[in-house]
Amino acid sequence: MYADEFPKAIIDTLYMLIVSGFISAVIGIFLGVIVVVTRKGGILENKVVFWILDKIINLFRSIPFIILVPTVSVLTRLICGSTIGMQAALVPLVIGTAPFIARQMETAIMEIDAGIIEASLSMGLSPWEIIFKVLLRENIPGMIRGITISMIALVGQIAIVGTIGAGGLGDMAIRYGLYRSMGDVTFVIIVLILLIITVIQIAGDAIVRKVTH
């Protein structure tokens, strides 16, 4: 009975969301910070590094995810030994999400008052101290908002990787909703995905309120 598959599909979806989301957040925050500090006028200005990272981020952000999956299949096979399955799906999920988070982080950090950074420099703080004590600490609410938006988008991408046998709710939607035209299964899956997205949004808003006060 297909109802028995829902618990595993939900667990698989949450697993891919948590693992790929965490890895993407770490990489995205790192890239976002580096792009900000190496840009013109940044505290670690480096035109070459900025140009390379900026173009890489733009490239992977511009590729539709359904096209990105087969595009990085060689890398996926190299890392996971296969292009099919839940573990293999993590590779395109991270590659597709990290650049999006990087841009979210860049935008949030750029909103920090330049006077705060100038004051930190005048106090003798090193560039790395400014990164950790000013750029990241002063930007926590913006970071949380950006990550929340990215995680919501990631849920949709996880549904897409169901087409490569990654499992999860997307896989169930393909097998039962599309191939067998079982509208009731599709409806339940939509409701479950909406619930996951709602929980992410509520949690993100709650964290932002807590760190803002």
Instruction: Please report, for the domain that includes residue 29, its CATH number.
Output: 1.10.3720.10
Please determine, for residue 159, whether its predicted confidence score (pLDDT) is greater than 80: yes
| Res. 29: pLDDT tops 90 | yes
Q: State CA 134 to chain mean position distance.
A: 23
pLDDT of 95 > 80? The answer is yes
Average pLDDT, the chain: 88
pLDDT at 15: 94
Provide the 3-class DSSP secondary structure of residue 194.
Answer: helix
The answer to which of 25-39, 44-58, 181-195 has the lowest mean pLDDT is 181-195
Q: From its phi and psi, is residue 165 left (phi > 0), alpha (psi between -120 and 50) or beta? A: left
How far CA 211 is from CA of 26, 31, 104, in Å, comes to: 19, 23, 18
| pLDDT tens-digit map of 164-186 | 778 888 888 888 877 777 778 88
Kindly report the backbone phi and psi dihedral angles of residue 165, in degrees, each rounded to the nearest multiple of 5, phi listed first: 75, 30
pLDDT digits (tens, 9 = 90+) for 43-57: 888 999 999 999 999
Domain containing 41 equals 2-212
For the chain, the domain total comes to 1
Alpha-carbon span 81 to 177, nearest angstrom:
30
pTM of the model: 0.88
pLDDT on residue 122: 82
Within 8 A by CB and 6+ apart from 171, the residues are 9, 12, 162, 163, 165
